Amino acid sequence: MTHADKAVELFKEGCNCAQAVFLAFNDIMGYEQKTALKISSSFGGGFGRMREVCGAVSGMCMVLGTIYGYDDIESQELKKEHYARIQKCMKEFREVNGTYICRELIGEEGKDTKANPTERTNDFYKRRPCSELVRIAAEITDKYIKGNPIDDM
């Protein structure tokens, strides 16, 4: 099963969009499942359903940060390299989808945001592009990883 297939499966099982992408790559990252779910739990629905940056994109960035992120906080070069990596992947997502802003992706500009999660019904999966957005974010992540070998974790 590809990471993209795994991400969609996790989303359809009830993970939020960020959790689905983040957890799909746990075979590489190696978190305890419970820890991975908690780390990524705040980013669903565009940051706690605020409809800001798409949760699938946030999940993608968290995976890339876990694998390639810097820990030398004084190194401007490492920061620059990592920010360039994140920008590259986010720009690719935007090129494919027109935006990486949740409310624009799901057509809810101007609507009030509430903390209540949307019920996951068959109609939800038909109406919302979220499953496909999760797939795309995971595919972009996979493509980046394949083109940039992992040194160490």
Instruction: Please say if the pLDDT value at position 30 is more than 70.
Output: yes
> In terms of Cα–Cα distance, which of 123, 115, 133, 134 is closest to 51?
115
Coil, strand or helix at 117: coil
What is the model's pTM? Answer: 0.93
Mark 22-36 as b/e (b = at least 16 C-beta within 10 Å). Answer: bbbbbeebebeeeeb
Tokens of 126: 């038909």
> pLDDT of 78-134, one tens digit each?
999 999 999 999 999 999 999 999 999 999 876 777 777 887 888 887 888 999 999
| Block residue for tokens 């499953």 | 131
Mean pLDDT of 25-46: 97
The total of other beta-carbon atoms located within 10 Å of residue 12's CB is 14
Tokens of 53: 């940056």
Q: Classify residue 41 by its DSSP letter.
A: G
Coil, strand or helix at 18: helix
Mean pLDDT of 46-52: 94
Rounded Cα distance, 143 and 139, in Å: 6
Phi-psi region of 110 (alpha: psi -120 to 50; beta: other; left: phi over 0): left
Instruction: Please say if the pLDDT value at position 67 is more than 80.
Output: yes
Q: Which pLDDT score, from 0 to 100, does residue 62 have? A: 99
